[in-house]
Amino acid sequence: NAGVTQTPKFQVLKTGQSMTLQCAQDMNHEYMSWYRQDPGMGLRLIHYSVGAGITDQGEVPNGYNVSRSTTEDFPLRLLSAAPSQTSVYFCASNSRTGRNEQYFGPGTRLTVT
Where does this chain bind another protein (CB under 8 A)? 4, 31, 33, 40-45, 48, 50, 56, 58, 90, 92, 94, 99-107
* Closest distance to another protein from the beta carbon of 2 (Å): 13
Q: Which residue in 7, 21, 24 sits closest to 93, CA to CA?
A: 24
How crowded is residue 101: how many other Cβ atoms within 10 Å of its Cβ?
A: 11
* Closest distance to another protein from the beta carbon of 16 (Å): 28
96 neighbors 77 (Cβ within 8 angstroms): no
Question: Which lies closer to another protein via its Cβ, residue 11 or residue 17?
Answer: 11
Question: Which lies closer to another protein via its Cβ, residue 44 or residue 75?
Answer: 44
50 neighbors 57 (Cβ within 8 angstroms): no
Question: Which lies closer to another protein via its Cβ, residue 8 or residue 16?
Answer: 8
Helix runs in 1-113, H state only: none
* Closest distance to another protein from the beta carbon of 80 (Å): 26
